[in-house]
A and B are shown apart, each in its own frame.
Chain A
Amino acid sequence: MTALVEVKNLKKYFETPRGMLHAVDDVSFSIERGKTMGIVGESGCGKSTLGRVIIHLLDSTDGQIFFEGKDITHANPRQLRKLRENMKIIFQDPYSSLNPRLTVEETIKEPLIISKKYSAKAANDEAERLMNMVGIDQRLRLAYPHELDGGRRQRVGIARALALNPKFIVCDEPVSALDVSIQAQVLNLLQDLQDQFELTYMFVTHDLSVVRHISDDICVMYLGKLVETCESKELFKHPLHPYTQALISAVPTIDIHHKKERVILEGEITSPINPKPGCRFKKRCTYHTTQCNEPQHLEEVLPRHFVACCRVREINHI
């Protein structure tokens, strides 16, 4: 099975007055067609930047991006236009990601009209079909975003992303701004659409419970680095990187009878500006030694389970 999306040694640096900010630093992974890759990490780890670089909303600094086997890293504007029909994004905040001056129908129709593939009549029909698909009532066709609640706005964002039948969608914290009862509705919708159209998702979130629920595979990021990647089930059964272990143990559980062992991390996340070579987690890591000052590389520690930590075998008795 070939990967639909693949990135190799991808880097994205931002220039800041204080130096180079390494938002995404040497990240490689691939996503198979029809699967969901979860990207998880805390604020500032580069997970959203990664999504944006892949779909070319931001230019990469270095590395390669492949889509359906083709290198699209340096796609020209004409190629990009074509590519963007296949690669879409759903944003976190449905309150600010929709144009307040466009109605629901206009919002959904806009990409159809830009593509020049639809006549005015056909675009109307297609918008109607998309609205039905994501469960927005036709009577809201002429409503403006401010008239809709968060859940419905997010459905509009999803309908717009589905226009032109994309193959790949970056979902950037699509349910984080929603209440739990609405969150479940939107997650179910995303799963149904995936089954129906064989969509491939890259699901970016800080919420471990959500990422575990929706993903086939997961990448854990810390300060621009990919620190652990494997199947979703495997990650939650055998987290191997000390950061992943701390992250999973930090999630408050609703199981009130089994208190879990918790790793409380000391200290704050260090700055991603001009980071030193070596493990970026070491300041907060209980296992750190001088070995950790060397650059860390992803290694296949267990079958299809990759970890970037020089002491991973020792710590986990592998």
Chain B
Amino acid sequence: MAEFDPDLFESLRLELRRGSLVLAVLSRLREERYGYTLRQALSDDGLEIEESTLYPLLRRLESQGLLTSEWREEEKRRKRFYRLSAPGEAMLAALTTEWRAIGASLDKML
């Protein structure tokens, strides 16, 4: 039996987290935010996400119609604000149900 492999743990942990990021991003965008403050909001809730992951993810979710965005001036700079769209709300609700079901199943097993 090999010893506990921290590198393997890290890669499995990232894999486990990956699916939950969409859910976290959607839920934090019930309130309008721009990328930098969104990242901080997620980080404050204990979910660190790299910019290089977050920004393309936002763009993808927008192209899928789950988010809307608009450029606005704030603090003397133009910023892109994102917010959950109506289809995004519905998707978030469906994904939340799914997430809870997965959690309940795993709770029974773990």
Bound together:
no
Residues of B within 8 A of A (CB): none
Residues of A within 8 A of B (CB): none
